[in-house]
Amino acid sequence: MLSDRGTRPLTLLLVRHGQSEWNAAGRMQGQTAHVPLTDLGHEQAAAAARELGRLRPGALISSDLRRALQTAEHCARTTGLGLSTTAALREQGYGVLEGRPSRELWDVVDWTDPHWSAEGGESLAQLHARVAAYLDQLREHPPADVVALVTHGDTIRAAQAVAAGLGPEAMPAETPRNGTVTRLEIGA
């Protein structure tokens, strides 16, 4: 869980990557690294970058997966910030299910069990723990008072639960849309 070190709150601007080719095709992405943005995804990334420009973050950190990096590059150009990456911001890993059509998985995945994972994948509980550890690290050693994190839908939902003091079983059901910015205060 989040540390109570320090007295200043940390503002996170969580950017969900723009639409990827696999989003458009309805394929499960997880931690598949090579999936690029579509033309619409680049437009969404540019719009998110403009919003970040207005919000003026002091640091920019991205998942190291291609769709997030392409989004973060738009953000870096618009804000003038340097870009660093971390695997801690990756999407939930779906192991052997990655690349399969999402519609085929409704009968395979137990979406209600936070400890369920596909072979070679990661459970929601593991995702939640990874995100909690990373947010705790950011809180202890913030690179700025306002930090933009370019990441993925399930990772954002995990961050929202962690910031609210909730466990993986209580992650928000709604995933932010591609190319949106979600503001989150931690340690306030």
- Give the pLDDT confidence of 35-61 residue by residue, as tens digits: 999 999 999 999 999 999 999 999 999
pLDDT at 2: 47
Tell me whether residue 140 is one of the annotated catalytic residues: no
Q: If you compute the radius of gyration of the chain from its CA atoms, what whole number of angstroms results?
A: 16
Fill in the amino acid letter for 107: D
Tell me whether residue 17 is one of the annotated catalytic residues: yes
pLDDT at 57: 98
pLDDT at 25: 97
Catalytic residue among 17, 74, 128, 152: 17
Assess if residue 101 is contained within a domain: yes
User: What confidence category does residue 7 fall into, taking pLDDT thresholds of 50, 70 and 90?
Assistant: low
pTM of the model: 0.94
In contact, 109 and 116? CB cutoff 8 Å: yes
Assess if residue 4 is contained within a domain: no
Residue 68 has pLDDT above 90, yes or no: yes
Mean pLDDT for the stretch of residues 143-170: 97
Assess if residue 125 is contained within a domain: yes
Distance CA 16, CA 45 (A): 9
Assess if residue 111 is contained within a domain: yes
Mean pLDDT for the stretch of residues 102-122: 89
Catalytic residue among 91, 98, 128, 152: 91
Assess if residue 155 is contained within a domain: yes
Assess if residue 24 is contained within a domain: yes
Give residue 137's domain range.
10-186
